[in-house]
Amino acid sequence: MVFSSLYFLCVFLPLNLLLYYLIKNRTYRNWLLIITSLFFYAWGEPVWVALLIFSTLFDYVNARVAGKNRDNWKGRAAVALSITGNLLILGFFKYAGFIAENLNSLLGAGLGVTAFGLPIGISFYTFQTISYVVDVYRGETEAQQSFPRLLLFVSLFHQLVAGPIVRYSDIAREIEARVETPAQFNYGVSRFIMGLGKKVLIANTAGKLSESFLGTDYSRLPVTGAWLGIFLFALQIYFDFSGYSDMAIGLGKMFGFTYKENFNYPYISRSAAEFWRRWHISLGSFFRDYVYIPLGGNRRRYLLNLLVVWSLTGLWHGAGWNFVIWGLYYFVLIFVEKKLLLRVFEKLPSIVSRIYLWVAVLVGWVFFYHLDLGEALQFLGIMFGVKAAAFSGPEVAIHFLSNAVFLAVAAICCTPVTRFIGERSKRLFPEKQGGAAFLAGKVLPPLAGAAVLVLSIIFLVGQSYNPFLYFRF
């Protein structure tokens, strides 16, 4: 199930909330969350729910061993076992095909390629349990003595399938003793609606529009079409992913959990390094805390550490060379920025670095989108005028004009505009100044929330509109 499905929205969530708040006892509430989360996961992965439980059990044991043996080999062995085990699971499901394929073409080894699909969320929950065991070993948190409570941490449906990668230490206390308050609930609902709107209204629309340009016959693609296409993809991936994180954070709040922010307006960055401090923060901080710093960070073999982290970051996004290249591309950018560009940008107006960032990110998405390197290079060529069919065309013009409002709204939503308006209105209408302040503070936000919800549901139903003109086939 995904959050942006009608069944989740109209059946799973209302029922879940109803039962949750009918129950008063903390332990039973946790059990309800475990059962509904496992059901939620089984909805998409009826078989691999067993793997999820097994993986949790495995690290439940590892963490308890590591927690008791922080200063001897047993602790280190438990951590090593956990990391190996999780990476083996991840490797088997996610990368076996990729590795076999490359070995075959490299050595001519006739390795069979496993046909298992990738279990949903496996990239997220394996990282969560690794970080849990390592944190216990490092003494940053205590090992969980109760298996159901650990299972609750791993399986919580809010963040199970698409992150953020929640650290156990961040919600350890909330698992045992959290307080659900109306204020939190209000925040959770409006955050969830915001995420839903991002996903349904912006990401899905951008995705559908991008299909007119991406993956089409590139020999007909004009320069402006390539730019518009990859810009739409940039909108799609940001609003899709950050919308999902918003929904996760909002759902957490509805049930009394606080997850850390995962996105912080990445597209307003002024360098690739800043972009990655604002994009998928929980992944970046995972690699920082569990790979980059243990390897020596800035102090030792800096360049190598950076290279390792960015190759892994690329590879984490998918088992394909295009993702590796995408990661290495950021390695190069960040290195060059550190050595040269950032100092140059300081002397220039900020618009230069902003344009640089947008071009850099869009070029990056070209590699991210195209699994085939040849296509990526062809597309990149068109963006910069190499072998482009034309500079522009009527099709691009019609799409651009018909969707100008959408494009403008989406672009504005990439910036902290709501925060800006909120702060402005507070300054314009200090508290207790009557009508206008009341309107700006108490009336408009709920109205906007309600409108986004209604629009999202309308669009969700609309997305099931699939006119199959010729159903007699």
- Minimal distance, residue 155 CB to other proteins, in Å: 17
Please confirm, yes or no, whether 317 is among the known catalytic residues.
Answer: yes
Residue 181 or 415 with smaller CB distance to other proteins = 181
Gap between the Cα atoms of 122 and 186, Å rounded: 31
- Contact string (CB under 8 A) for other proteins, positions 23-42, x = contact: -------------------x
Q: Tell me: does residue 15 bind other proteins (CB under 8 A).
A: yes
Is residue 179 close enough to count as binding other proteins by CB under 8 A?
A: no
List binders of other proteins among 402-441 (CB under 8 A). 402-406
Contact 198, 413 (CB under 8 A): yes
Distance of CA 457 to the CA centre of its chain: 22
Q: Residue 433 CA to chain centroid, in angstroms?
A: 41
Taking residue 167's Cβ as centre, other Cβ atoms within 10 Å add up to 22
Binding flag, residue 401, other proteins (CB under 8 A): yes
Among 299, 347, 427, 472, binds other proteins (CB under 8 A): 472
Query: Could you tell me if 193 and 449 are in contact, meaning their C-beta atoms sit under 8 angstroms apart?
Result: yes
The token duo for 119 is 């279990």
* Other CB atoms within 10 A of residue 316 CB: 18
Residue pair 326/314 in contact by the 8 Å Cβ criterion? yes
Choice from 393, 414, 425, 429 touching other proteins (CB under 8 A): 393
Task: Check residue 465 for interaction with other proteins (CB under 8 A).
Answer: yes
Asked whether position 444 contacts other proteins by CB under 8 A, the answer is no
Q: Which is nearer to other proteins, 304 or 454 (CB)?
A: 454
Q: Which residue has the tokens 């085939």?
A: 372
Q: Which of 13, 230, 306, 413 binds other proteins (CB under 8 A)?
A: 13
Closest CA to 382 of 363, 356, 407: 363
Alpha carbons 220 and 212: distance in angstroms, whole number: 12
- Report the C-alpha gap between 154 and 126 in whole angstroms: 9
The residue range among 7-15, 23-31, 161-169, 268-276 that interacts with other proteins, by the rule CB under 8 A, is 7-15
Task: List the catalytic residues.
Answer: 317
Residues lying near other proteins in the complex (CB under 8 A): 1, 5-7, 9-11, 13-15, 17-18, 42-47, 182-183, 185-186, 189-190, 192-193, 208, 211-212, 393-395, 398-399, 401-406, 445-447, 449-450, 453-455, 457-462, 464-473
